[in-house]
Each structure stands twice: as structure tokens, then as C-alpha cells.
Amino acid sequence: MVKIVSYTHTNSYETLFELTDETQHIWVCFHGLGYLSTYFKKYFENFDSVKNYVIILQAPSKAYIGKGFKHVGACWLTKVDTHQEMQNNLNYINKVLISEKIEQDPRVTLFGYSQGVSIATRFLKQHHFPITSLIMHSGSIPEELTKEDGLHFKKYCSRFIHIAGTKDEYSNEEIVEREKEKIELLFGTDCEIYRPEIKHVVHVPLLEEIAQNL
């Protein structure tokens, strides 16, 4: 018999730069599978430190990766107890926003990379305050999201950006077509599409260009 208990859990997160009245954009970032926030933050280090404040969230489930058991990575959720784990993630994300006093701040940009795309979009589904943008980079949009969710996204988010490398080793024609259909369902023609010739990596130059033009 499977039983469930509720308990208090603590988790960390990283930040870059300072949040001030001069800050124009607050990045809330969701890393990909196998990352830790402390290493993922390197992709944002060249952002304008006056205009940007970056929060790099930490996926809760850590494990050793590789054969040598020397490196640690993390993931947001798996196919086991997905709904329960996602609710835990949402509790954590909301708590971070409250702690940073930005839960109602319209300067927020959600950035999801790889597995982080599914977390960012699911978070936005339950977020009821205006934000600046949603940036989805090299990750799959959750299958359960509906046209009604798309209307919610458009109500609370001003800009949508989707980035997928044409040489992504985790992609194929079927995945590309599926993601295209999801984008059309949720965002229609309101999503900016970028298709750089890259593998499954964070496109730092493109990200820095987007940051300059949000």
C-alpha cells in the first residue's frame, strides 16, 4: 500500500547581480536535466548587471552522474509521481518569488532550458500576475497544456520566444513537428521562433542578444 506524508523541505537557489529600482528585467531560470544552479548561472554572467537580476532555481532531486560518481546533477521530476513532484516544484518556486518579493513583479522573465521548459510553462499556467516574457530553449512543451492554457499565457505574458537547435541530438522530425503544433496551439503567431545551427546546448550569444532587446 502506498501512503503519502507531507513534510517541510528546504532547497537553495543562486542569484546574479542586484535587484534595484534600476533593474529592468528579472530572470527566473530553470536549468536542464543534470545541471546544478551554481554551474548553470555561468550562462548569464555577461548580462548587463544594472538592467538584469538573475535568479537560477535549483531542481530538488540530486544524484551522482557519470561512471565515476564524482559529479552531481539534478532533475525537476520524472514520470513517477509526476503530479506530486510538480506540485512540490510549484511550492518551491512560489516560495522563492515571495522571498525575493517579486511574486507580483511585471519585470519577470521566465527562462526554461531543456527539462526546464516543462517547469517554466507549468509554473506560468498557475501564475496570475503579469510578466514580461517566457523563453523556451531546447525543451518540450508539456503535452497536457491546452488552448485554454494558451489564453491564460497570453493574458499574463507579453512576449513568447522559442529556441531550438537544428542540430539538437535529442530531437528528430517527429519531435519538431509535435513542438510546432504545440506552439501553434498555445501561442498562435505570437511566438518568436529561433532555429540556430546548434546542438543541445545553451546558445549564449543569442541569449545575450535577447537580453539586450527585451
Q: Bigger pLDDT: 66 or 192?
A: 192
**Nine cell digits for residue 173:** 522530425
In a domain, 84, yes or no: yes
In a domain, 98, yes or no: yes
Side-chain-side CA neighbours of residue 183 (13 Å): 24
CATH at residue 62? 3.40.50.1820
- The band of 67, judged by pLDDT with boundaries at 50, 70 and 90, is confident
Backbone angles phi, psi at 21, to 5 degrees: -70, -20
In a domain, 166, yes or no: yes
**pLDDT, tens digit, 9 for 90 and up, residues 156-203:** 999 999 999 999 999 999 999 999 999 999 999 999 999 999 999 999
In a domain, 2, yes or no: no
Give the residue numbers spanning the domain of 24.
Answer: 13-204
In a domain, 213, yes or no: no
- Give how many domains the chain has, as a whole number: 1
Secondary element (H or E) of residue 173: helix 173-187
In a domain, 6, yes or no: no
pLDDT at 208: 97
Q: Strand, coil or helix: what is 132? A: strand
In a domain, 211, yes or no: no
In a domain, 3, yes or no: no
Q: What is the mean pLDDT of residues 51-66?
A: 94
**pLDDT, tens digit, 9 for 90 and up, residues 191-204:** 999 999 999 999 99
Residue 164 and residue 73: Cα distance in Å, rounded? 23
